[in-house]
Structure 1
Amino acid sequence: MPRRSAGILLFRRDPELQVLLGHMGGPFWVRKDEHAWSIPKGEHDEDEDAEAAARREFAEETGHPAPGDLLPLGVVRGAKVLTVWAAEGDLDAGAVVSNTFELEWPPRSGRVQSYPELDRAAWLDLETARTKIVKGQLPFLDRLAELLG
């Protein structure tokens, strides 16, 4: 079975369309910027409802509750099966506080360190977001633009 992941793409119109993306945390991403940003999302079991997982992961990765109304953006299949919803809302990107994960770093060093899932967040216009977002998530930006006209 492929791994499953779900997330929420928060957007606002300020006055142009902007999306909230998070820069992935950990030593692999620390010096990367282009295609190193992600929709707040995370893995879930096959038995867990994807929307419930998206809401949980949004809260864990941003430190803010997920918005109420969600608009489906569909599924993208790649290394994982990723299901994403969009939601209109606003939050202070500078106040995003993510959950953490543990990783042995440097590899084979025996030192386990803790890193945030997302080390920072930012509101980005769609043009900028297309250069920052992980390539596998690009279709969701196009779907959002199409959905909102």
Structure 2
Amino acid sequence: MLGPKYGRRPIGRDSKKSSAAFDGRNGFGFGNPRNVDRPMIKRSAGVLLFRRCSRGVEVLLVHPGGPFWQRRNLGSWSIPKGEYDFEKESALEAAKRELQEETGIVVSGEFFELGAFVQPSGKLVSAWATESDFDPSHLRSNACRIEWPPHSGHFSDVPEIDRVQWFSVDEALTKIVKGQVGIVQALVQKVGEPKREQSAD
């Protein structure tokens, strides 16, 4: 899930444009929608956790680890996701696996599909959502080896995810990479945005 500076799964370049959901009819730039099934298209799958509280719906986003992302905030967060081989596992299985690997979260509840979102890079991100709570202090992320600075010959191990945080929908839309904005919007369309509690005068 690390960005292009590491030569790993790109988050950062997804932030250049907004995403588009693949609806099975026009393919959003793929021409023939059947092209989605071709192995040459890179695929990722992920899970957007959400919970309901007094201020409305909140979603759980993850922040990539490593020095390149250390001071980046707006437009740098993501849903927990990763690439998978559709010939070896389903998108939902991959999404659950990536959720556990990147955060330590194991959810046994109901998952519902938000759609498949074409990123500016051409990657297809399949997203699911599930309602569940999680304490960010319990984050357990896997580690990955990076070369930093690039081409320096110096390698070190960094957590793939350095922190997770709950955000309101409005906050999430500014924090998440632009290529995944449509995922949050799709969640709101599915579950709605509950009215915030009004305090008595």
Partner SS, residue 55 of structure 1: helix
Give the whole-Å Cα distance in 2 for the aligned partners of 1:67 and 1:96.
Answer: 18
Q: How does 1:58-97 map to 2 (within 5 A)?
A: 58-78=99-119, 79=121, 80-97=123-140
Partner SS, residue 163 of structure 2: strand
Give the whole-Å Cα distance in 1 for the aligned partners of 2:50 and 2:156.
Answer: 33
- Is it true that 1:4 corresponds to 2:43 in the alignment? yes
Partner SS, residue 7 of structure 1: strand
Give the whole-Å Cα distance in 1 for the aligned partners of 2:182 and 2:42.
Answer: 19
What root-mean-square deviation, in Å, do the aligned CA atoms of Structure 1 and Structure 2 show? 1.0
Q: How does 1:43-58 map to 2 (within 5 A)?
A: 43-47=83-87, 48-58=89-99
User: 2:161 maps to what in 1?
Assistant: 118
Give the whole-Å Cα distance in 2 for the aligned partners of 1:34 and 1:141.
Answer: 15
Identity %: 47
Change (3 A) 1:126 1:97: same
Alpha carbons 2:107, 2:132 under 8 Å: kept: no
Question: CA shift at 1:24, angstroms?
Answer: 1.2
TM-score, length-scaled by structure 2: 0.72
Partner SS, residue 82 of structure 1: strand
Q: Which residue of the other structure, out of 60, 64, 68, is the alignment partner of 1:28?
A: 68
* Residue type of the alignment partner of 1:25: G
User: 2:3 maps to what in 1?
Assistant: none
Structure with more of its chain in strand, by fraction = 1
Partner SS, residue 126 of structure 2: strand
User: 2:184 maps to what in 1?
Assistant: 141
User: 1:107 maps to what in 2?
Assistant: 150
Give the whole-Å Cα distance in 2 for the aligned partners of 1:68 and 1:131.
Answer: 28
Alpha carbons 1:96, 1:121 under 8 Å: kept: yes
Give the whole-Å Cα distance in 2 for the aligned partners of 1:94 and 1:138.
Answer: 25
Alpha carbons 2:46, 2:128 under 8 Å: kept: yes
Change (3 A) 1:118 1:33: same
Question: CA shift at 1:67, angstroms?
Answer: 3.8
Equivalenced residues, count:
149
